[in-house]
Amino acid sequence: MLISTRVRKSPFWHLSIEAGAWRATVYNRMYHPRGYVRPEDGGAMAEYDALINRVTLWNVAVERQIRVKGPDAEAFVDFVITRDATRIRPMHGKYCILCNDRGGILNDPVLLRLAGDEFWFSISDSDLMLWLQGVNVARRFDVEIDEIDVSPLQIQGPLSEDLMADLVGEQVRAIPYYGLMETEIGGRPVVVSQTGFTGEKGYEVYVRDATQNAEAVWYAIRGQGARFGLRVIAPAHHRRIAAGILSWGQDLDAETSPFQVNLAYQVPRKKAGDYIGRAELERQRDIIDKGGYPFRQKLVGMKLGGHPITDYAPDFWLVTDPGGNRVGYLTSPWWSPELETNIALGYVPWEMATPGTALKIELPEAYSETSGQPVDAMVCEVPFRPSVNPSARERARAAGRDSAD
C-alpha cells in the first residue's frame, strides 16, 4: 500500500511498523495494520494461535472516538441509537447501532458512558461524526459533538486478565463485561473496558491524550506482556466470525436492516422515546411477526468444504442452491481449526436461512477441491463456538427474548 500524508496515521502507526506490520488497509480514513506474521512464518493463523492460547495486543486506533457531551447528551444519544440510552449507567458501555430513517445501519459502535453528560462512540468504519453533527445542525440538543484525542488498543486472549492485573492492579478483575475503569498504564491516563472483537476474554485500553501518551502505554504493555508471551497481531477476523461478531462494511452497511443480520435484539419493543428509524423498523418487525419476509436476503452462518481458507477473502464469493442457481454471497469466510472446517457468514434468500439447508459455494481455484466445481455448504447456527463473554443477542436468546432491553 502507498503510505502518504493524505491518509491519517494513528499515534500507534510507527509502533506497529516497529512491531513488524507488513500490510495495512484503510479504515475510517486511517491506516490500519492487518498483518504482522509473514505468510512464510504462519501468517494470520499463527496470530490466531497466539490469540486463543496466550495474549495479544492490537492497534485499533481506527476505532475513532466521537464524544457527545453536554446537558442533553443522554437525550441526544437516545434519539440516535435504537437501544435505550437511559439504561446505560455511567462507567458502563453497550454495543449499539444507529440507523437512518429507512432502517439501514449507519454504524455499530461500542458506546461508552463516561459520565451522566458524556458519551463516547467507539466507531466502526463510517463517518459517524458528520452524521451526528448533521442530526443536530439545528441545535435541538444542547451538546457538543467532536472527535477527541483518545486512541484504543485491544488486549485479547485467555491470559489478558492476568496481564491487565499486572498492569493496573487486581481491581481490574472485578470489571463486569462492558464495565469501565479509569486508571494509568505506564504512568499515563487510560480508560479500560472489558470488551473486544473476539469472543475471547479481553479488554480495550483507551489512551487519553494519545498523541502524547501512545508510546508510553504501548511499551508498558509490551514490556509487562513479555512474560505472558504477548504477541502483537492484527484484528482476528477468524475468531470474530466464529463468535458471530459482525464487521461493518463487510457483513452490514447503510442498506442493511438489523432484522437481516441477527440484530433484532437491538430494536426494543418498548423503548419510551422516539429514535431515528423507529417507524420503519417497527413496520419491518410487524411483517416478520406476521410470518412475512420484508427483505429478499438474510445473513446466516455456514460451514463449507474446500481447502482451508487461511487469509482474508479478497471478494464476496457466490452462493448457489443445489440446482446451481446463484442465490447469495459470502461476506466473511475463514478456516476454524477447532471445528476443522471452513466457516462463513453470508447472505441467502430468507426461505433458505433455516439451519440444515444445503447450499454450494463457488470458491476460487486456490480453495476449491475440484477445479471449476463449487463446494458443499450447509446453513448452521451462529455463533459457531461459545464465547467467553456471550453477546447480548446470545443472552437474550437464552432468556427467550428478542430484545436486550
Total Cβ atoms within 10 A of residue 146: 13
Give bridge partners of residue 67 from the DSSP assignment.
120, 146
Is the per-residue pLDDT at 42 higher than 90? yes
Is the per-residue pLDDT at 153 higher than 60? yes
Average pLDDT taken over every residue of the chain: 95
What residue ranges do the domains of the chain occupy? 258-398
Please choose, from the candidates 319, 327, 324, the residue with its C-alpha nearest in 3D space to the C-alpha of residue 351.
327
Please choose, from the candidates 178, 175, 202, 205, the residue with its C-alpha nearest in 3D space to the C-alpha of residue 190.
205
Is the per-residue pLDDT at 269 higher than 70? yes
Please choose, from the candidates 191, 167, 131, 139, the residue with its C-alpha nearest in 3D space to the C-alpha of residue 55.
167
Residue type at position 305: G
- For 219-262, what is each residue's pLDDT tens digit? 999 999 999 999 999 999 999 999 999 999 999 999 999 999 99
Is the per-residue pLDDT at 324 higher than 70? yes
Q: Is 204 annotated as a binding residue?
A: yes
CA distance 47 to 234: 8
> Distances in Å between the alpha carbon of 35 and those of 55, 63, 236, 299?
16, 17, 10, 27
Write down the pLDDT at residue 403.
Answer: 60
- For 329-371, what is each residue's pLDDT tens digit? 999 999 999 999 999 999 999 999 999 999 999 999 999 999 8
Q: How confident is the model at residue 400 (pLDDT cuts 50, 70, 90)?
A: low
The answer to whether 314 and 119 have CB atoms below 8 angstroms apart is no
Q: Which is more confident, 387 or 127?
A: 127
Q: How confident is the model at residue 402 (pLDDT cuts 50, 70, 90)?
A: low
**For the chain, what is the HEC assignment?**
CCCCCCCECCCCHHHHHHCCCCEEEEECCEEEEEECCCHHHCHHHHHHHHHHHCCEEEECCCCCEEEEECCCHHHHHHHHCCCCHHHCCCCEEEECCEECCCCCEEECCEEEEEECCEEEEECCCCCHHHHHHHHCCCCCCCCEEEECCEEEEEEECCCHHHHHHHHHCHHHHHCCCCEEEEEEECCEEEEEECCCCCCCCEEEEEEECHHHHHHHHHHHHHHHHHHHCCEECCCCHHHHHHCCCCCECCCECCCCCHHHCCCHHHCCCCCCCCCCCHHHHHHHHHHHHCCCCCCCEEEEEEEECCCCCCCCCCCCCEEECCCCCEEEEEEEEEEECCCCEEEEEEEEEHHHCCCCCEEEECCCCCCCCCCCCCEEEEEECCCCCCCCCCCHHHHHHHCCCCCCC
Is the per-residue pLDDT at 299 higher than 60? yes
**Please, what's the b/e burial string for 29-52 (b: 16 or more CB within 10 A of its CB; e: otherwise)?**
ebbbbbbbbeeeeeebbbbbbbbb
Write down the pLDDT at residue 394.
Answer: 59
Is the per-residue pLDDT at 393 higher than 60? no
**Percent of the chain's residues with pLDDT above 70:** 96
Sorted by sequence, the CB contacts under 8 Å of residue 369 that are 6+ apart come out as 305, 306, 307, 375
Cell of 302: 455456514
Q: Which CATH homologous superfamily contains domain 258-398?
A: Probable tRNA modification gtpase trme; domain 1 (3.30.1360.120)
